Structure 1
Amino acid sequence: MKKLVLDTCIAFLGRTISQSEFRVKNGKTFVKDELYYRLNVRPNKNMTASTFWETFVHKLIYDNECLIIQSDDDDLLIADDFQHNEYAVFEDTFSNVTVKDYTFKRVFKQSDVIHLRYRNERLTPLIDGLFTDYGDLFGRILSSQKRKNQIRGTVDMDMIGAKSPQHQAKLQEFIDNMYKAIGEKDVAIIPQQPGFKYSETSGGGTTGQSVDEINKVTNGFFNQVAMALGIPTSLVYGDMADIEKQTKNYMLFTINPLLKKLADEANVKFFEQEEYLSGQKIDIKSISYQSLFDLATAIDKLISSSGFTGNEIRLEAGYEPSDDPNLDKHYITKNYTEMNKVEGGDEQNDGEN
């Protein structure tokens, strides 16, 4: 039950992150170079980008930290094991870095790797503590359910002449073979024996817990783990009520902070301070959860209120600015009247209507 819940929640996060686009930005333009290709298509020789980022999320949450190194041929590799050497005033290092069956001989510096921690404390003790309580309750309900549906049998025997150890041993062997036949075969034929009578009763009464109670305990444990990971349970269950609101909260408070951590680490790894300040950086575009109609309505309000130009909206939405000079102008009212050219009585009145 614990593995099922953890794998379900982690896979949900991994699928969301893997749909993001990692874009290399240079000022106001986006560059599609080798770095872009490795982050979005083929990080290394053995993984696609979607598999790579799903593995990254799985490792990050299970171990509470994940290390990505760059090999000599610029492949991005997720470390399966490593030793983190922490220092107070010096740069941390990573030694004994192992990827699959290969252990790197060299020591990696913090500035040369992408190293993320999921949270301040490991999630595993919390999950184990929850499972101790829920697992005990789950086991008790399951045991009660088994006893409720158990089939019980009785054997009446005439013990006259059956007191010798040899006779009792043969009788016990006969009983064991009979029980084995009843338990394993669809049709069991039992020979009648003098002084021996077998009868069967069903234990299926009205007492005990139902299967629904087992499902409630499983769902309760699932809800606690999902809450710890910041996943609305309605999304995982597939509920359609308020799905856009739940998705918005999920993206805002769970996915975007994780992408921000990853972007910060990537910018430190791939760009120097001067390059970053000049506009070169990794910009991660998450999947859109708004419908095209709602997005168009929001853009329409932003532009028609003169607060933003069309190109400013394009940059905020993650697209390159257009060469159309009209998208660099401010407009007001639903008629998109140009502000800096509306002067005089008639034109001003038309613009205000």
Structure 2
Amino acid sequence: MGLFSEIWNSVKNKNRSIDVSGYSALFSAEASLGIKSVALEACVTYLARLISKGKFVFKDGNSIIASDFDYALNVKPNPNQTASEFKIAMVKKLLNGELLVVKDGDRFYVADNFITHYSLNGNSFSNVFINFDENNVVLSDSGLSTQKYFEKVFTQGVDCFHLTNDNIELQKYIDSLWKDYGKMFGILITNQLRVGQLRAKIDIPVNSKLDDDERKKLQRRFATTLFEKMKRDPVVFIPADGPSKSSYEEISANKSASLQNQITDFGNLRKVFIGEVAGLLGIPPALVLGETANNSENLDLAIEAAAIPLGNKLSEGFTSLLIRKSGYKVGKTLEMTGFKTINILDRADAIDKVGSSGVIKINEVREAAGLSPIEDGDRIIMTKNYTKEGENSENS
């Protein structure tokens, strides 16, 4: 339900005396949208940065091979973005719902807007807009135009690929629980605004007598006005019944000052939001919150549960564009690796054992360590202590 729908429903509500103006719905929605944006942006940005460290690698079997698209995917996919910016844009689009990547020659773009045409033979996409700068929007005869507009129609698997976010639980969570947390956050803000508020009683003599109906109307008017002022004004005068002459009595702010400062509650509520979203994305909340305890283990969990699955989806999308069916049959693949930088000095013993035992090739060891392949690296080396008597120490 949208913001204005909430306001309209609050106005139509039978109990109109509570909030005819719709201010409560507006206030709650504003608080909800604010903290929702912070939590989602924190978690999605962290995951996007993690995946941006990955590198697309073309392989023939277990051997890394060169490709004409190495530069585009790992250095500069288009004139306006680096590879890292491009990967971050892809992840954010995908996690927000859907992603369309279009291929224009040897360039790749993330679409901002498009129209989908569904077909059993492959969906097609028209009216594809690309916008690298949200401020770069101009008004033309056809309406708002972005920086780049493709007049051609793109076809799935031919010159584009389209992915959707299959994390249904995340979408359900966003739709059902943000409103409840927003109400809680709105209450915290309201309470915080009242901390230290100066209030005073004031008596105003009334010479004429009022009948019961007029007195009730006046009380309701005072109550509404007073409630609004207490929410926004630093100093509030409270009408009170008293003697016939005017008087003023200041209420000490000590009582208000004694209320617990709820700024810390904001931080705790933010942690609740981030924890929920991070859990649904497969990221340990401690990573997003910047906590250093068990950081290495948490990073391994995030890579295994979140980065690798998303990396596989992106790799499959590019595979459908860049590798033909005939090539795939003979073992050509496209993978995304290198999400974690490994300190080779700390892992020297493990690297030595796995490399010298003849289990995997040199370039495979380098790939696992986050290093680029070398020209003569697609061979196996086995040291003498791992070989049988009479065998060569090096097998290629």
Shorter-chain TM-score range: 0.7 to 0.9
Is the 2:114–2:127 Cα contact (8 Å) retained in structure 1? yes
Of 87, 105, 108, the residue aligned with 2:151 is 105
Q: What is aligned with 2:65? A: 30
Give SS of 1:200's match: strand
CA distance in 1, matches of 2:91, 2:364: 32
Is the 1:22–1:285 Cα contact (8 Å) retained in structure 2? yes
CA distance in 2, matches of 1:58, 1:278: 34
Q: What is aligned with 1:119? A: 166
Is the 1:138–1:218 Cα contact (8 Å) retained in structure 2? no
Of 80, 102, 105, the residue aligned with 1:46 is 80
Q: Are 1:337 and 2:389 counterparts? A: no
Give SS of 2:65's match: strand
Is the 2:55–2:338 Cα contact (8 Å) retained in structure 1? yes
Q: What is aligned with 2:113? A: 81
Q: Name the Cα RMSD after superposition.
A: 3.6
Report the AA paired with residue 373 of structure 2. Answer: E
Report the AA paired with residue 262 of structure 2. Answer: S
Of 92, 98, 103, the residue aligned with 1:70 is 103
Q: Are 1:234 and 2:286 counterparts? A: yes
Shift of 1:258: 0.7
Map 1:99-178 onto structure 2 (within 5 A). 99-100=130-131, 101=146, 102-112=148-158, 113-119=160-166, 121=168, 123-157=170-204
Is the 1:156–1:196 Cα contact (8 Å) retained in structure 2? yes
What TM-score does the superposition give when structure 1 sets the normalisation length?
0.75
CA distance in 1, matches of 2:112, 2:185: 33
Name the stretch that deviates more: 121-130 or 103-112.
Answer: 121-130
Shift of 1:261: 1.0
Q: What is aligned with 1:169? A: none
In structure 1, runs of 5+ residues without a counterpart are: 164-178, 186-194, 344-353
Give SS of 1:46's match: coil
Of 216, 223, 228, the residue aligned with 2:275 is 223
Q: What is aligned with 2:250? A: 200
Shift of 1:240: 1.6
Shift of 1:311: 5.7
Report the AA paired with residue 66 of structure 2. Answer: V
Q: What is aligned with 2:49? A: 15
Counting matched residue pairs gives: 313
Is the 1:308–1:330 Cα contact (8 Å) retained in structure 2? no
Shift of 1:227: 1.0
Residues 118 and 302 of structure 1, relative CA distance in 2, 3 Å threshold: same
Q: Are 1:320 and 2:373 counterparts? A: yes
CA distance in 1, matches of 2:172, 2:363: 48
In structure 2, runs of 5+ residues without a counterpart are: 1-34, 132-145, 211-228, 236-244, 392-396
Shift of 1:77: 1.4
Q: What is aligned with 1:91? A: 122
Is the 2:271–2:289 Cα contact (8 Å) retained in structure 1? no
Q: Are 1:261 and 2:313 counterparts? A: yes
Report the AA paired with residue 337 of structure 1. Answer: N
CA distance in 2, matches of 1:263, 1:287: 14
CA distance in 2, matches of 1:262, 1:234: 26
Residues 295 and 121 of structure 1, relative CA distance in 2, 3 Å threshold: same
CA distance in 2, matches of 1:77, 1:307: 39
CA distance in 1, matches of 2:155, 2:192: 56
Report the AA paired with residue 111 of structure 1. Answer: G
Is the 2:170–2:277 Cα contact (8 Å) retained in structure 1? no
Q: What is aligned with 1:61? A: 95
Give SS of 1:136's match: helix
Report the AA paired with residue 69 of structure 1. Answer: V
What are the superposed Cα offsets for residues 246-278 of structure 1, whole Å, 9 maximum, x if unpaired? Answer: 110111110011111111111110111122333
Q: What is aligned with 2:348? A: 296
Q: What is aligned with 1:349? A: none
CA distance in 2, matches of 1:321, 1:258: 27
Report the AA paired with residue 44 of structure 1. Answer: N
Shift of 1:197: 4.6
Structure richer in helix, relative to its length: 1
Is the 1:303–1:310 Cα contact (8 Å) retained in structure 2? yes
CA distance in 2, matches of 1:126, 1:316: 36
Residues 208 and 184 of structure 1, relative CA distance in 2, 3 Å threshold: closer
Shift of 1:131: 1.2
CA distance in 2, matches of 1:109, 1:309: 39
Residues 302 and 25 of structure 1, relative CA distance in 2, 3 Å threshold: closer
Identity %: 29
Residues 120 and 287 of structure 1, relative CA distance in 2, 3 Å threshold: closer
Shift of 1:158: 5.2
What TM-score does the superposition give when structure 2 sets the normalisation length?
0.67
